[in-house]
Structure 1
Amino acid sequence: MSLIALLFVAQAATASMPSTPAATSAATAEVPARITRLLQRYPVIDGHNDLAWEIRDRHDGKVEQVDLMRDTSTLPYPLQTDIPRLRRGGVGGQFWSVWIPAATTGPRAVEMTLEQIDIVRRVAAANPDAFALVTTAAEARAAQKAGRIASMIGIEGGHQIDGRLSVLRQMKELGVGYMTLTHGKSLSWADSSTDAPRANGLTDFGRSVVAEMNRIGMIVDVSHVSDATMAAVLDVTKAPVIASHSGARAVADVPRNIPDNLLARIGQAGGVVMVNVYPAFVSEEWRAWDRKRSEFGKAQGLATDVYGPKAPAPLVAWDAANPMPHVTAANVADHVEHIARIAGKGAVGIGGDYDGIGGTAPADMTGVDGYPRLFAELARRGWTDAELGALAQGNVLRVMERVEAVAASQKAIKPVNATATD
């Protein structure tokens, strides 16, 4: 048995199990080895990871001083991602987010995005045996075959192109594979799910952005956008879309999650919703707890985005008196299964949002090594190897290939120099 398999078996043996008698059945005991084999054959292609920002923000952008070959959970500013945990988690492909704050706009947004792309490229260059920068589905498959983690780039917000299609095209030239149309703030041309609308869907420029992304082969990402904007995108796109890190609103009623009617449309159009693990979007109970915690902390003038023993002492005391709701892989699996029921099992993938979730994660999925527990939970619920393989990577690879084909069919179309007007 390989070292990776041995590490996984040891990890899986410590996973929390259901409390019912069925949990001790022979079938349950066989799941870990099956999942190990499955993820060796079909490693996860994860749609969203914010490691680049954490290196910038928590480690002063010093890529070469953050040793990703070691356990980064023990650093003074812990991370949820490192190479050993990616390997244990069965991750064979990663879209690295080059997020910047939504409040950063104009030329500075473009500059900061370039700086974030530089961090991703330096991470790959510092770890050439582990990471391979790729831009196509074929290259991703080749990287996996060579034992490397296919590394792709995603822009997390249309503010990062400063309202210019020319900038969008240059981001594609730099290897950007997708763009999330908005983040937490609405733009003049597209609306965020967590801000007042400005475009009421998509403006003419917003539709030009989608058309140009189709033309150049960049995936349209509809995580974070409003329902009206998502519907408008699905009205005009010629290629399937992804939601790189979202959940099902019917399971957790959160604006960032996707309602059933739009889940169905994404599935019908050949797209994929990549399920995230952030408890704030996974569990309504956790979200309510966190809201009360934030209200208490803000009343005390405290930062509320730190959890656990490193939080300010009054918050540590509040946490002891108000225990955090228990969120596990089973809760994440509920979102996967709901999306599969509404949109089809070909329309669901994985987009954890690790290192973008404030130091919180499901109790048994605390870092990128937690994915096997999600797959084991789904296996217990009856998912076949073929279905799990599609969830892990097959569905998103299909989207990538279709986006590439749509772009190839539009090679004769000339670029347009449209700009947004605020």
Structure 2
Amino acid sequence: MVFAKKHWIIIGSIGSTLAIAIIVGVTVGVVVGRRKSEQTTNEQRAFDILAQNPLIDGHNDWAMIIRAILQNNISGHDFYNMTQYDRKNGTPSQTDIIRLRKGQVGGQFWSIYTSCEHQGKDAIMSFMEQIDVMNRLIEKYSDVFQFVRTANEIRQAFQAKRIASLFGVEGGQAIESSFSILRLFYQMGVRYMTLTHNCNTPWADQNQVDRINSTLIKNNGLTEFGKKIITEMNRLGMLIDLSHVSKKTMLDVLNITRSPVIFSHSSAWTLCNHTRNVQDDVLQLIKSNRGIVMVAFTPGFIICNRQRRVTIPDVAAHINHIRNVAGIDSVGIGADYDGIDDTPEGLEDVSTYPKIIEYLISQGNWTNDDIIKLIGGNIIRVIEENEKISRDLQKIIQPFEDLIPLNDLIKYNLTQCRYLDMYTDTSYL
């Protein structure tokens, strides 16, 4: 028992005074001791849950940082400690092996990303370079990471005490409107594709078209070619990621997909009306779809018009809101580390995941089973459902062989770097 400082109260005889003093001291000590015990219990509960169940984050941009800082040169660099590598604005990398281990990360979707400026030029090459650098990093630290393609392989990697490593292509510009490239990325291990980044593809709209007074060219959601992309992704078993897309694109996808979808790094629009967040009517559709919204820690998505620094309770509010609207089976974590310059207080890097879990536990309405679903159970279930639906679809649907309509490419001025020899109508050339 830890005793607080005794408060001496003079009432009556010396014996009475001593008795009262001891009682007061013991009472205060019990309260302080209980608070410390509760704090330790929450911390221990979080540790135990994470030790026995994989925390799988939906989105980390470490590969982008390696490209920007090291030009994808991983030899001679220490990836156990990346704090010495400053980003352009002086912010250290938010990811390295030491901090991943401290954060008890069990699995990670590594974002395969290069900027929209590559679209129509060298997008395919630049995205393949990012797959290559992550392949080399995983091989270099094969005692830490394990490349996985399936839900079962995630479990196997976790049992082997390695960080299950999956790839997610961030931005449909990567496939240059080609079913062939989409399939090749899947063969290389890509298990989700974000349909757009912050630029339209010729077949899908991005979120910024929803901004007030936007003057961006619009497709009005998905084009007919875009709808075929969704069907082909269902057939392959590649998860459809709706982070970054416009609301109309979200609705079009949810109207036609046969598989559960994901938002790899988005938050709740009701709490912050950013176009990167998910509105409540879409959350209801996600519940019906059995999909998942993986909450981003991006401060600008958590509090709009910020007057103060974002905190752990602010992030938890988004998790709780999505849980309340879409259900416990449709919420996860997609922090977006190394894709954000600023971070919430207390969630500065990948070492801090246990802190958000401890806070949720402290709220009193999260059971162990709820936490297990949040940290990884839900995304594993979504992957498994995509795998099953894929097997069924491959029995009845053949791979798509269509070319995107040439006018769709012309609309976005994407023909100048293409030979276009497979188009029979060469009048545009």
Which TM-score band (shorter chain)?
Answer: 0.7 to 0.9
Q: Which amino acid aligns with 2:76?
A: Q
SS at match of 1:113: helix
Matched, 1:395 2:378: yes
**1:270/1:344 Cα in 2 relative to 1: closer, same or farther (>3 Å)?**
same
Q: Which amino acid aligns with 1:400?
A: I
| Partner residue, 2:418 | none
Q: For 1:75, which of 85, 91, 99 is the aligned residue?
A: 85
* Residue pair 2:86, 2:93 contacting (<8 A) in 1 also: no
**1:164/1:107 Cα in 2 relative to 1: closer, same or farther (>3 Å)?**
farther
CA shift for structure 1 position 329 = 1.5
| Partner residue, 2:335 | 352
Q: Distance in 2 between matches of 1:414 and 1:211?
A: 11
Q: Distance in 2 between matches of 1:276 and 1:42?
A: 21
RMSD: 1.6
Matched, 1:334 2:317: yes
SS at match of 2:80: coil
Q: For 2:254, which of 220, 223, 234 is the aligned residue?
A: 234
User: Which whole-Å deviations, capped at 9, do the CAs of 1:366-415 have from their partners, x for residues lacking one?
Assistant: 10011111101110112111000000100000000000001100223211
| Partner residue, 1:118 | 132
| Partner residue, 1:377 | 359
Matched, 1:171 2:175: no
Q: Which amino acid aligns with 2:290?
A: G
SS at match of 1:65: coil
| Partner residue, 1:366 | 348
CA shift for structure 1 position 74 = 3.1
* Residue pair 2:311, 2:346 contacting (<8 A) in 1 also: yes
**1:197/1:389 Cα in 2 relative to 1: closer, same or farther (>3 Å)?**
farther
| Partner residue, 1:245 | 265
Task: Identify which of structures 1 and 2 has the higher relative contact order when contacts are C-alpha pairs closer than 8 Å and 6+ apart.
Answer: 1
Matched, 1:214 2:234: yes
| Partner residue, 1:186 | 200
Q: For 1:129, which of 143, 148, 152 is the aligned residue?
A: 143
Q: Distance in 1 between matches of 2:264 and 2:34?
A: 32
CA shift for structure 1 position 43 = 2.4
Q: Distance in 1 between matches of 2:185 and 2:296?
A: 25
| Partner residue, 1:59 | 70
Q: Distance in 2 between matches of 1:218 and 1:387?
A: 26
Matches within 5 A, 1:67-106: 67-70=78-81, 72-77=82-87, 78-106=92-120
* Residue pair 1:188, 1:198 contacting (<8 A) in 2 also: no
CA shift for structure 1 position 199 = 1.4
Q: Distance in 2 between matches of 1:42 and 1:283?
A: 30
| Partner residue, 1:268 | 288
CA shift for structure 1 position 63 = 1.8
User: Which whole-Å deviations, capped at 9, do the CAs of 1:291-346 have from their partners, x for residues lacking one?
Assistant: xxxxxxxxxxxxxxxxxxxxxxxxxxxxxxxxxx2212111111000000000011
| Residues matched between the structures, number | 363
Matches within 5 A, 1:189-204: 189-195=203-209, 196=216, 198-204=218-224
Matched, 1:257 2:277: yes
**1:409/1:184 Cα in 2 relative to 1: closer, same or farther (>3 Å)?**
same
Q: Indicate the larger mover: 190-199 or 270-279.
A: 190-199
Q: Which amino acid aligns with 2:350?
A: V
Q: Distance in 1 between matches of 2:165 and 2:303?
A: 30
Q: Distance in 2 between matches of 1:76 and 1:110?
A: 28
* Residue pair 1:156, 1:182 contacting (<8 A) in 2 also: yes
CA shift for structure 1 position 197 = 5.2
Unmatched runs of 5 consecutive residues or more in structure 1: 1-20, 290-324
Q: Which amino acid aligns with 2:156?
A: A
CA shift for structure 1 position 178 = 0.2
**1:25/1:232 Cα in 2 relative to 1: closer, same or farther (>3 Å)?**
same
Q: Which amino acid aligns with 1:59?
A: L
Q: Normalised by the size of structure 2, how large is the TM-score?
A: 0.82
Q: Indicate the larger mover: 383-392 or 56-65.
A: 56-65
Q: Distance in 1 between matches of 2:164 and 2:256?
A: 30
User: Which whole-Å deviations, capped at 9, do the CAs of 1:193-222 have from their partners, x for residues lacking one?
Assistant: 113352111111110000000001100000
CA shift for structure 1 position 22 = 12
**1:29/1:212 Cα in 2 relative to 1: closer, same or farther (>3 Å)?**
same
* Percent identical residues: 39
SS at match of 1:55: helix
Q: Normalised by the size of structure 1, how large is the TM-score?
A: 0.83
Which runs of structure 1 show a deviation greater than 6 angstroms over 4 or more consecutive aligned residues? none
* Residue pair 2:203, 2:225 contacting (<8 A) in 1 also: yes
Q: Distance in 1 between matches of 2:121 and 2:155?
A: 36
Q: Which amino acid aligns with 1:279?
A: P
| Partner residue, 2:392 | 409
| Partner residue, 2:165 | 151
Q: Distance in 1 between matches of 2:118 and 2:286?
A: 30
Q: Distance in 2 between matches of 1:29 and 1:139?
A: 33
